């Protein structure tokens, strides 16, 4: 069951509630059940110069970058068998929540 604050955040921020935070801070943390998922970057570097990190419960599980040519975020991990693209940070987070990490990480949260 979703908390009242999650419901209110969706009502206030709409579909792209994480994209705005990511654009300014280059850090987003999302609680999903018992899991804590973090998307981490350096807000002082240009997006063209960065490889961002995805952590699940403190362990790195994947990396991603932004490709301005395709205007997409590209995630790389052992489990994706290559790369998977997302138009927004919200799309990436929705995928992680929906799949519960399947396709991005193995059960213990570590990369192979």
Q: Which pLDDT belongs to residue 5?
A: 45
Average pLDDT, the chain: 76
Q: Could you read off the pLDDT of 78-105 as tens digits, one per residue?
A: 666 678 899 999 998 888 777 665 555 4
Q: Is 78 helix (H, G, I), strand (E, B) or coil?
A: coil
Domain-wise residue ranges, the chain: 4-99
pLDDT reported for residue 102: 57
Q: What is the mean pLDDT of residues 25-48?
A: 86
Reported as half-sphere exposure (CB side, CA atoms, 13 A), residue 70 has a value of: 11
The pLDDT of residue 12 is: 45
Q: What is the pLDDT of residue 98?
A: 76
On the CB side of 8, how many CA atoms lie within 13 Å of its CA?
Answer: 3
């Amino acid at each position: 069951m979703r908390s009242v604050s999650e419901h209110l955040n969706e009502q206030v921020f709409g579909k792209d509630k994480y994209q705005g935070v990511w654009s300014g801070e280059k850090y987003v943390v999302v609680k999903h059940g018992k899991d804590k998922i973090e998307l981490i970057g350096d807000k002082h570097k240009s997006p063209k110069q960065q490889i961002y990190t995805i952590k699940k419960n403190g362990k790195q599980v994947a990396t991603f970058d932004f490709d301005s040519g395709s205007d997409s975020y590209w995630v790389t991990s052992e489990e994706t068998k290559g790369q998977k693209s997302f138009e927004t940070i919200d799309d990436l987070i929705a995928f992680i929540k929906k799949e519960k990490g399947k396709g991005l990480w193995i059960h213990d949260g570590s990369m192979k």
